[in-house]
Amino acid sequence: MRHRLLLSCCLLLSSTAVQARADAADPPPPHRTLYRNAVLIDGTGAPARPGTGLLVEGERIVAIQADTAPVADGVEVVDLHGQYVIPGLIDTHVHLATPPDTAQATASLRRQLYSGVTAVRSMADDVRNVGELARQALVGEIPAPDIHYAALMAGPGFFEDPRTIAVTRGRVPGRTPWMQAIDADTDLVQAVALARGTSASGIKLYADMPGPRLAAITAEAHRQGIPVWAHAAVFPAMPADDVDAGVDVISHSCPLAYQASPRKPATYHERTPVDESAFAGAMPAQMVELFARMAERGIILDATNLVYLRHVEEYARDRQGPPPRCSAKLTLRLTAQAFRQGVAISSGTDGDNPPEAPFPSLHDELELLAGPVGMPPLEVIRAATATAARALGQQAERGTLEPGKLADFVVLAGDPSRDIGQLRSVTATVKRGVRHPRAEFEAGRQRAE
């Protein structure tokens, strides 16, 4: 009897102690913030809504409401004084670790965040480095956009490229889960599983593979639930082979032109430029058909105009390195044609501005879309938000301002629906519910100068 009483007392004390620890560990209720008196541009293409508030709880939007709605007790109110709110911007084509340079990457990511960028897609880097940056960005250890990255697959011949050596140091290029050489004998089930094991958000198909191999990889990737992001021309595979394979996103407008070019490189390292004589008159029928099929299948074009325009400028000035694959005029013309035919355009850059620049290159890319490409400002915003989120496979979490989605948004002093240049009028970025005032970044720049 005495032993049973002692045991009961011990169990009672033990359960009481466990409950006390559990009560002590219960987190406080999430902080609630109401951003009111905003002009809301939600990223869907709908007209702006003045007099609108966003109620944020923790890292999520819980309500979008008129400013006339009552404010509950305990809610922090941030009056935006009629400023404009858009979804967080997304750069769908960056490189953060080719080769790895953590200091440079963190500085670039910080500038992106304070410029309104809340997510990026890293398109084949050393994922050992990028994975750690992604973790730090996710948990708030560094001020940075969320990072979604690719694992690359290409033909064996591509892995002589010095960039592949730079991103696999200590390993054999082509034989790492994030940089795999694929040939006719590759076990694709295993290859895709290895790529997924890196925590990559997608598989990038890059170079030196025929069309049937693209289709086989894409089918297996989709079976395993991971999207496929392809270079426009994989050589010898052409853009139409990407479309036939059913990839989710195609990167780069310029090399789409090889579909109609009389001269077609057999490998990635063959730098034969596009024969632009095929584009002297009306848009070639092969391109019109290609864009129609892309639009029908919902394939996104990650256009990256800026990087090709800058290559043309640099080559004209220095005459060093490989020649541009196509002219600036053709690059922009192809993007404009794709947009007119209903292809969804996303906001990739494939290169960043110098460290001293106040804004990242995404703003330059968006101004090209609004300028020579001819996209209306609301469509440019959609390219950098809703469409970009779909390119990342993140449309359920971000890209539009809706209850239940992440509280990722940008506060602007000016109206970007009238002038896309107003995307530079950032006063604050909110990422996962945390405010990052632009003034903090500007103060840091002034101290550095």
The pLDDT tens digits of the residues spanning 69-83 come to 999 999 999 999 999
In whole angstroms, give the CA distance from residue 273 to residue 290.
20
Residue 194 belongs to some domain of the structure: yes
CA distance 361 to 351: 7
Phi first, then psi, for residue 395 (nearest 5°) are -65, -20
Indicate the number of domains in the chain: 1
Residue 410 lies in a domain: no
> Per residue in 305-314, pLDDT tens?
999 999 999 9
In whole angstroms, give the CA distance from residue 319 to residue 308.
15
What is residue 12's predicted lDDT score, i.e. its pLDDT?
43
Spatial separation of the C-alpha atoms in residues 191 and 414, rounded to whole Å: 48
Check: CB of residue 128 under 8 Å from CB of residue 134: no
Are 334 and 378 contacting, i.e. CB atoms less than 8 angstroms apart? Answer: no
* 25 CB-near residues (< 8 Å, 6+ apart): none
Q: In this predicted model, which residue has the larger pLDDT, 1 or 197?
A: 197
CA neighbours closer than 13 Å in the CB half-sphere of residue 36: 15
Examine residue 284 and state whether it is found in any structural domain, yes or no.
yes
Q: Could you tell me what percent of the chain has a pLDDT over 90?
A: 90
pLDDT tens sequence across 258-277: 999 999 999 999 999 999 99
In a domain, 446, yes or no: no
pLDDT of 24 reads: 53
**pLDDT value, residue 5:** 44
Residue 244 lies in a domain: yes
Whether 323 and 315 have beta carbons less than 8 Å apart is answered as: yes
The first and second tokens of residue 393, run together, are 């496979």
Say what the pLDDT of residue 166 is: 94
CA 406 to chain centre: 15
Contact 393, 150 (CB under 8 A): no
Residue 417 lies in a domain: no
Note the pLDDT tens digit of each residue in 220-237.
999 999 999 999 999 999
Q: How confident is the model at residue 8 (pLDDT cuts 50, 70, 90)?
A: very low
Q: Assess contact for 43 and 399: CB atoms under 8 A.
A: yes
Predicted confidence band of residue 406 (pLDDT cuts 50, 70, 90)? very high
292: in domain: yes
pLDDT for position 23: 52
Q: Enumerate residues 6+ apart whose C-beta is below 8 A from 55.
A: 32, 33, 34, 61, 62, 63, 64, 65, 75
**Banded pLDDT at 30 (limits 50, 70, 90):** confident
Q: How confident is the model at residue 25 (pLDDT cuts 50, 70, 90)?
A: low
In this prediction, residue 1 carries a pLDDT of: 47
In a domain, 437, yes or no: no
To which residue do tokens 């029928």 refer?
Answer: 285
Q: Is the pTM of this model over 0.85?
A: yes
Confidence at residue 210, expressed as pLDDT on a 0 to 100 scale: 98
pLDDT value of position 9: 44
Domain interval for residue 302: 89-399
User: Is the bond preceding residue 99 a cis peptide, omega within 30 degrees?
Assistant: yes
Average pLDDT rounded to a whole number, residues 122-151 = 98
Q: What is the CATH number of the domain that holds 155?
A: 3.20.20.140
Of 164, 188, 189, which Cα lies nearest the Cα of 178? 164
Q: Provide the pLDDT for residue 445.
A: 76
Q: pLDDT at residue 22 above 80?
A: no
Q: What are phi and psi of 44, to 5 degrees?
A: -90, -10
State how far the Cα of 93 lies from the Cα of 303, in Å rounded to an integer.
9
pLDDT value at position 444?
78
How does pLDDT run across 350-383, given as a tens digit for each residue? 999 999 999 999 999 999 999 999 999 999 999 9
Q: What is the pLDDT of residue 17?
A: 52
Higher-confidence residue: 158 or 18?
A: 158
